[in-house]
Amino acid sequence: MARQRPDSPPLFEIVDYPDFSFEKRAIARGQWPVAGLDEAGRGPLAGPVVAAAVVLDPARIPDGLDDSKRLTLAQREQIFSQILATALGVSMASVCAEGIDRSDIRKASLEAMRRALCGLPLAPKLALADGRDVPPGLPCPGEALVKGDRRSQSIAAASIVAKVMRDRMMTGCGNVDARYGFEIHMGYATARHRTAITTYGAVARWHRISFAPFRNGAAENTPSEDEEQIL
């Protein structure tokens, strides 16, 4: 028997794309400028974690802002250029693989976001951070938004900036050492990357030695398709 559609309307609309509503409420409270914070690169076996802070111009919000993982490479690059051309402030910061190994990826991600916020050319009155945690040590109040890159356009803009900049950094690593294919998988644990690690060992200062499989005995080396064209 087919299930009948209920007559009553839904209690709330499910929104799965970012808007400017969090920022508008902050403006109404007198908290402006508002910066969005996000990071890229928590999961890879190699490379830095990169964070970005973005203060959008409410009158010039780029079209197509979304979670960077839901955009194609071409879309990210196009919107990245629009963000740089229209935003009131953009800043990027990173924590290298050695810094991640000295603490942990969560702390390193939050530290990268803090550095990015502090690098803005204007002083925000509120920071909207993607995730469950507000980075410690911010120079302004912060609010954590779970899945913030799908809820706040400022966070979505930061996610795009962080992703584009990190991908460019990993492409540079691939140009220096072609054995690992960093320019293809961006340091994620694809089959090609794992095979290269098994064959050549880890690259000092590039690979995160505190991550598996390195804890299981992979040797370090010096610098000298694959699955998921990762996000």
Interior CA angle at 143 toward 142 and 145, to 5°?
Answer: 145
The residue type at 21: S
* Least confident residue range of 77-81, 165-169, 226-230: 226-230
Question: Is pLDDT at 14 greater than 70 in this prediction?
Answer: no
Structure confidence by residue, pLDDT tens digits, 139-160:
999 999 999 999 999 999 999 9
The 8 Å CB, 24+ separation contacts for 195-198 are: 197/45
Domains annotated for the chain, with CATH where assigned, are: 21-176 (3.30.420.10)
Question: Is pLDDT at 231 greater than 80 in this prediction?
Answer: no
Question: Is pLDDT at 221 greater than 70 in this prediction?
Answer: no
The residue type at 200: Y
d(CA 136, CA 162): 19
- Output the pTM of the full model: 0.88
Is the pLDDT higher at 212 or at 137?
Answer: 137
d(CA 127, CA 135): 9
The HSE-up count of residue 7 (CA atoms within 13 Å, CB side) is: 0
What is residue 16's predicted lDDT score, i.e. its pLDDT? Answer: 82
What is residue 217's predicted lDDT score, i.e. its pLDDT? Answer: 54
User: Alpha helices of 142-204 — where are they, by DSSP H?
Assistant: 153-176, 182-185, 191-200
Structure confidence by residue, pLDDT tens digits, 87-140:
999 999 999 999 999 999 999 999 999 999 999 999 999 999 999 999 999 999
What is residue 227's predicted lDDT score, i.e. its pLDDT? Answer: 34
Residue 48 token pair: 């830095």
Average pLDDT over residues 188-199: 96
Is the pLDDT higher at 207 or at 12?
Answer: 207
User: Alpha helices of the chain — where are they, by DSSP H?
Assistant: 21-28, 73-86, 97-102, 105-118, 153-176, 182-185, 191-200
d(CA 197, CA 213): 9
> Using an 8 Å Cβ cutoff, are 48 and 97 in contact?
yes
